[in-house]
Structure 1
Amino acid sequence: MRSVIPNALTALNLVLGMCAIISTFHNEFYQAAIFIVAAMISDGLDGRVARYLNVSSEFGKELDSLCDLASFGVAPAILAYAFLLKDFGIIGSLIAAFFATCGALRLARFNVNTTTVKGYFMGLPIPAAGCVVATFVMLGIKPVGWIFPILVIVFAYLMVSTIKYPDFKGKGEKIRIIPVIITILVAGYILFMTKDAVLFTPFFAYALFGILNTVFGLFDYKTTT
C-alpha cells in the first residue's frame, strides 16, 4: 500500500500537465504555466517519497518518465505554440514538435544511462526545460522577431546535449566558482530588469550555469594535459 503514495504523486504530475494543456486551449496561458510549475513540484516529491518509504520500483520510474513527457515536453510545447509560435506558421509548429521530441529523447537517454551516468545530469533535465518555457510565458512578454522561437529551440537542444548539469547531491560534476559568479550576476540583472521574473530566473540560471560550468571544465582538462 505504501507504493500508492509516490505513484499518486507521479499521477498528480500528469493530471497537472493535462490541466496545463486544457488551460492553454482556453487561452489561460498564465494559469497553464502555473500548472506546469506545480507539476514540477509534484515530480520532485514522488521520488523522494518513494525513497523515504523504501518503495522505489521500475514501475514507478517508467510511470514517472511517461508523466514527465506529458507535463514538461508536450504541455510546454503546446503552450509555447499557442502563446507565440503559431504566428510563425509551419515553422512554429515544427519548433513546438521539436521541443516535445527532444524531451522524449532526453527521457529515453536518461532511462538507459541510469547505471553509467551518476552524480550529474547529461543534458538539461526536462522539468527545468519545460519550466523555463512556462515561466517565460508567465511574464506575458511577447518579444519581437525570432527571440522566442530561438529560446524554445535552444532549450530543446539543451535537453539532448551532453552538457553536464549538477544534481546538487554533493558528488559528481565539479561546481566551479567563476560560472557561479557569472550566473549570479546574470540572474541578478534579470531580476533587476524584470521583477516579475522571480520564477523564470532560477530555471534560466540553472540552464546557463550548466553551459558555463561545462565550458570552464574544458579549460580544466586542457591545463591537466
Structure 2
Amino acid sequence: MPATLLPDTITSIGLLAGCLSFVSAVSGQLTRAAVMIGVSIACDIADGFVARSAHSASQFGVEYDSLSDVVAFGAAPAILAYAWALAPLQLWASLVVGAFVICAALRLARFNIQTETPGGRKHFVGLPVPGAAAMIAGGFLGGSYFRFDSPRALSAAITALMLTLAALMVSRVPYPSIKEIDPASLKSRSAIALTVIAIGLFVALPQLTALLAATGYLLSGPLWLAFGKDIKRAR
C-alpha cells in the first residue's frame, strides 16, 4: 500500500464532509453544516499528523489538501454564513461571500509557495483557512447556544466578521502553526491532560466550547503580533 494512501484518504473524507456541509446549509440544516465543517477541520489536522508520523508527506498531498480546503474551508463556511445570516442582504451578501472565498483561495495559494521556502512553516502568515472556517462554524453554534435572535444585527455582525476574516487570511499577521506540532510531544502527561480536558469540554458544552476555541485562535495572531517580541525576549 502506498505510504501516501492513508493521509490522502483522510483528506478525501474532509473534502466529503465539506460537500455535506454546503448541501446541509442549502437544505436548511445549519447545525449539521457547522458540524461537518468541524469534521473537515479534524481531518485537516489528522492528515498532516499522519503524513508526518509516517514520513509520507508529498507535493501531491500538499496540492490535494489545498484543493480540498477551498471546498471545505472556503465554499462551505461561506454558504453556511449566507444561509444563516446574509441572505437578506441579497447582492451585498454575494459580494461578502465572494470576498471570503477569494481570500481563502489566495491564502491557500500563498501557503503552497511558503511550504517550499526554508523555515516557511514555522508559523502561518495570515489566518489559516481552517481557522476562518472554525470561526464561522463556531459563531453559528455559539449563536444557537445563546439563542441570539435579531436578524438585522446578525446580518451586520456576520458581514463584519466575514470581511475581517477575509482580510486576516491575506494579511501578514502571524498565527501559530498547529501543523508543526511534533507527534512525539503529544505523549507527555501535560499534553494528554490538556487533550482530556478539551474533549471533556466539547462533550459537556460543545457549542460554547467551539465558539471559545475558534475565538481564541482568531485572537492569537493579533496578540502574537502585538506581544511576540516581548515573549521572545522573556524566553
For this structure pair, what is the TM-score category when the shorter chain's length is used for normalisation?
0.7 to 0.9
Note if contact 2:87-2:93 (Cα within 8 Å) is conserved in structure 1. yes
1:76 — aligned with what?
A: 77
How far apart are 1:215 and its partner, in Å?
2.1
TM-score, normalised via structure 2 length? 0.79
2:128 — aligned with what?
A: 125
TM-score, normalised via structure 1 length? 0.82
Provide, for residues 49-91 of structure 1, a one-character-per-residue CA deviation record: whole Å limited to 9, x for no partner.
Answer: 1122222111111000000110001100011011111111211
One of 200, 214, 225 as aligned partner of 1:203 = 214
Q: Distance in 1 between matches of 2:35 and 2:130?
A: 13
2:36 — aligned with what?
A: 35
Note if contact 1:121-1:167 (Cα within 8 Å) is conserved in structure 2. yes
Pair 118,50 (structure 1): closer, same or farther in 2 beyond 3 Å? closer
Note if contact 2:138-2:207 (Cα within 8 Å) is conserved in structure 1. no
The structure with the largest helix share of the pair is 2
Q: Distance in 2 between matches of 1:64 and 1:98?
A: 21
Secondary structure at the residue paired with 2:209?
A: coil
Q: Distance in 2 between matches of 1:88 and 1:209?
A: 31
Pair 53,92 (structure 1): closer, same or farther in 2 beyond 3 Å? same
Pair 86,118 (structure 1): closer, same or farther in 2 beyond 3 Å? same
Structure 1 unmatched runs, 5+? 172-193
One of 205, 226, 230 as aligned partner of 1:215 = 226
Secondary structure at the residue paired with 1:198?
A: helix
1:190 — aligned with what?
A: none
Q: Distance in 1 between matches of 2:57 and 2:121?
A: 18
Pair 218,142 (structure 1): closer, same or farther in 2 beyond 3 Å? farther
* Alignment: residue pair count: 200
Identity of aligned residues (%): 34
Note if contact 1:84-1:142 (Cα within 8 Å) is conserved in structure 2. no
1:155 — aligned with what?
A: 165
Note if contact 2:107-2:129 (Cα within 8 Å) is conserved in structure 1. yes
Provide, for residues 131-159 of structure 1, a one-character-per-residue CA deviation record: whole Å limited to 9, x for no partner.
Answer: 11012112333554311110111011111
Pair 50,170 (structure 1): closer, same or farther in 2 beyond 3 Å? closer
Q: Structure 1 runs of 4+ off > 6 angstroms?
A: 218-221
RMSD, aligned α-carbons? 2.3
Q: Distance in 2 between matches of 1:195 and 1:127?
A: 18
Pair 56,150 (structure 1): closer, same or farther in 2 beyond 3 Å? same
